[in-house]
Structure 1
Amino acid sequence: MNVRRLIPAAALAGAAALAVPALTACSGTSSTGAADGRLAVTASFYPMQFLAEQIGGDRVQVTSLTKPGVEPHDLEITPKQTAQLGESDVVLYLKGLQPAVDEAVAQAGVKNTVDAATLTKLDAHGAGSHDHDHEGAHGEEAGHSEEAGHSEGDGHSHGEAGGDPHVWLDPAKYAEIAKGVGAALEKADPGHAADYRKNTDELVGKLTALDTEFKDGLKNTATRTFITTHAAFGYLAERYGLDQEGISGVDPESEPSPARMKELQERARKENVTTVFFETLASDKTAKSLAADTGLKTDVLDPLEGITGKSQGADYFEVMRSNLKNLQKALGAK
């Protein structure tokens, strides 16, 4: 989403060197990471943290590398955090989303390391396009084949195979990841496997119900197209037959090109678009600029990369239901 700050290789190497003692001593599967005997789980950012907390319950001590309010893609790993990774019983992350985390995890060597990207199928959503190469790819029959021409376009690294990492915004895919996380916790702490299995089943049930809410809530709408500054909603759009249009290329806070602005104005008119969405962790300047030029409204569509006091809800489920409500309003759900 925002332009990432690059971390000097020397700094990463220094962090790794500082962490070596911890890495070699604490990468086993026993519950050694937490002083009170709980499983020490390190999550890369909020969606992974939420799964660990929901499935682990009081059996785990969860720490997130990405603090509330920090844009995940911009995260820089400190030597202390690299050491913390090595002391973890379980590490949960999503490869391709946070390059600094990918680097640190590769160096940590923790036995129970879970890459959420391996637990479900990642789709490209326009991977390989640059900036607005996807603009000419609008096929009505596909509905959303171009929806995330953001794979390179929003400045994110999207995995080795070019997959879009924003899978948690699709409740069905998030449920698949939840099952894999549950299995990893069972493996790391077999003495409490029954607890993890029960909590996983409950969470998957809630996610299945949320999926149904989205399907029913977005079944009949006046338009299927929505415009957003952060084109993170490719999976959500694909799951529910919507068409996502991202405004900007590398930086959603930058001004869109005149050609892109003109195209979006035409698209908004043709598709009866009413709303330009922005998010909670980035500026709404671009959204308001486009809205002012097209006579559209603005509203929040939260990519759920973190929860802050500005979030429209206290956890994943509350924010996703706020997203559904905002989409229903913008799309003219009947």
Structure 2
Amino acid sequence: MMSGHVRFRGAALLVGTALLATACGAGTAPGTSGDTPAVVAAVYPLQWLSEQVGGSDVKVSGLTSPGVEPHDAELGPQQMADLQSSVLTVYIKGLQPAVDDAVAGEAKGFDAASAVQVLEGEHHEDDGHGHEAPTDPHIWLDPSRLARVATQLGDRLAAAAPEQAQGFKDRAAATSAALTALDEEMADGLAQCAGKSLVTSHEAFGYLADRYRLKQVGITLDPESEPSPARIAEVAKIARAEKVSTVFTESLASPKVAEVLASEVGAKTAALDPLESKPASGDYLSAMRANLATLRTALGCT
């Protein structure tokens, strides 16, 4: 789930970036872009959320480029400069160690996971070696949890830029309401399904499964891991026993292992978006609704 392979360029980069930020920020108040406060979001769902809550009162930038697996995100000079000049950095502790290091001790860091109850990471025994993630960072795949993050984000932005406080709080309430409506739509759509098991390429969908009473069966813990033959055999056994008709692949991960497993158990494949990067079209809400449609078909929901 969390690879731990995020690369960080060390103290030399921090010093160089500080000089760059100082030079580029001459005449500009810290944490602003011109007259507009700057907000940095670590991953796409938090960027989307920051844009919804911040509106035109903030300038939002993301640390993870589109099409890049967030666990592999690399902080370059521009990203470090953005972090230093922001009034708020919205991130999820443990998802990207480089970001954790960069915001350590910074009061302007907002760990979105602190706003919700987190799930413990899964544990696999692969060839006698256990692999475990302390917590699952993919909180955005439960809209009800993301709604609570929206509310707290509004409060944090209001504190960071008090002159726009009411706008932040109003937009946070509207965003929370939109996410609550999405949650209700997904709960209704997944209430009556023939199947309950999600066999996925990697274990990104724990919050979705937890919220809508489904069972996640991940082939790997994170997208960089290669599953052992023992793990593949274990998942195949579960898939056959539970008559799984679909094995889910992801846009940013190789579908090879999922396709082999699907062929072995007589299932088909379908893409489920973990929203670790900006979707090719639409936004968070439309991508989640597309996931809902995919799940309803795969699980035989009525």
Aligned to 1:274: 245
For residues 113 and 263 of structure 1, the distance between their equivalents in structure 2, rounded to whole angstroms, comes to 40
Aligned to 1:326: 294
Whether the 8 Å CA contact 2:186–2:292 is kept in 1: the answer is yes
Q: Does 1:7 align with 2:7?
A: yes
Q: Does 1:191 align with 2:187?
A: no
Q: Does 1:257 align with 2:255?
A: no
For residues 38 and 29 of structure 2, the distance between their equivalents in structure 1, rounded to whole angstroms, comes to 7
Aligned to 1:305: 276
Gaps of 5+ in 1: 134-148
Q: Which amino acid aligns with 2:217?
A: E
For residues 211 and 223 of structure 1, the distance between their equivalents in structure 2, rounded to whole angstroms, comes to 20
Task: Quote the offset at 1:169 in angstroms.
Answer: 0.4
SS of 2:104's equivalent in the other structure is: helix
Q: Deviations over 1:58-97 (max 9, x none)?
A: 1110111111111100111113322221111111111100
Q: Name whichever structure is richer in strand by fraction.
A: 2
Q: Does 1:287 align with 2:258?
A: yes
Task: Quote the offset at 1:301 in angstroms.
Answer: 1.0
Q: Deviations over 1:244-290 (max 9, x none)?
A: 10013555673x33332332222222212100001111111111111
Q: Deviations over 1:201-235 (max 9, x none)?
A: 11111111111111111111111111000211111
SS of 1:223's equivalent in the other structure is: coil
For residues 303 and 62 of structure 1, the distance between their equivalents in structure 2, rounded to whole angstroms, comes to 22
For residues 282 and 257 of structure 1, the distance between their equivalents in structure 2, rounded to whole angstroms, comes to 17
Residues 233/44 of structure 1: CA separation in 2 closer, same or farther (3 Å cut) = same
Give the count of matched residue pairs.
299
Q: 2:63 aligns with which of 40, 45, 65?
A: 65
Whether the 8 Å CA contact 2:33–2:59 is kept in 1: the answer is no
Which residues of 2 match residues 65-84 of structure 1 at below 5 A?
A: 65-84=63-82
Whether the 8 Å CA contact 2:50–2:60 is kept in 1: the answer is yes
Q: Deviations over 1:279-322 (max 9, x none)?
A: 1111111111111111111001111011142xxx4110011011
Q: 1:51 aligns with which of 21, 45, 49?
A: 49
Whether the 8 Å CA contact 1:169–1:233 is kept in 2: the answer is yes
SS of 1:92's equivalent in the other structure is: strand
For residues 315 and 205 of structure 1, the distance between their equivalents in structure 2, rounded to whole angstroms, comes to 17
Q: Does 1:121 align with 2:117?
A: yes
What is the root-mean-square deviation in Å for CA atoms of aligned residues?
Answer: 2.7
Residues 22/94 of structure 1: CA separation in 2 closer, same or farther (3 Å cut) = farther
Q: Does 1:240 align with 2:212?
A: yes
SS of 2:273's equivalent in the other structure is: coil
For residues 121 and 6 of structure 2, the distance between their equivalents in structure 1, rounded to whole angstroms, comes to 25
| Percent of aligned pairs sharing the same letter | 43
Question: So what's the TM-score if we normalise by structure 1?
Answer: 0.82
